[in-house]
Amino acid sequence: MPKLRHLAVPAVAAAALVIGTAGSSFAADIYTADSSNACGAAYFYDYGDTFKILDVCSDGKGVRLQYTNPVDGSPSTSDTKIVVDYTGGYTGWNLDNAYVYDTDMPESACFYFRVGHVDNGAYVSGSYGSWNEACAAN
């Protein structure tokens, strides 16, 4: 039963995102990534080029967003990396509490991003989740 509950939390968060954006007057794509232990998450909104970073564990660690320099064409995980640390504390899954990081990407630029942890300003080894590809809106 614990596995089912573990899967239900991301499903509920995803459903809330769909319902929350259903009335919008634009078609936005939302991309997600999480850390290896699911204590950190980031959502990228292509309309507005905005990341929302969540810290979903009360473990004293921060969340590190890492993304590659956005490029026209095909991005690579070996492209130059940009790092954003959120160390403001627990946010839970409530996107209203998320740390908002605005970018200014060229239209249709694509990149990879992933989420890990940071402790006292240093990356926590092995905490990055998988790379996820995303693109800014046209």
Token representation of residue 109: 């630029």
Q: Which helix (H) or strand (E) holds 82?
A: strand 81-86
Residue ranges making up the domain that contains 78: 30-136
Pairing of strands 99-102, 110-119: unpaired
What is the count of structural domains for the chain? 1
Does residue 72 lie in a domain region? yes
Q: Which helix (H) or strand (E) holds 14?
A: helix 2-21
Does residue 16 lie in a domain region? no
**pLDDT tens, 80-108?**
999 999 999 999 999 999 999 999 999 99
The residue to which tokens 């690579």 are assigned: 76
Give the pLDDT score at 25: 37
Q: CATH number, domain at 85?
A: 2.60.40
Does residue 6 lie in a domain region? no
Does residue 44 lie in a domain region? yes
**pLDDT tens, 30-72?**
899 988 888 999 999 999 999 999 999 999 999 999 999 999 9
pLDDT band at 138 (very low <50, low <70, confident <90, very high): confident
Angle subtended at Cα 19 by Cα 62 and Cα 112, rounded to the nearest 5 degrees: 45
Q: In terms of pTM, does the model score above 0.85?
A: no
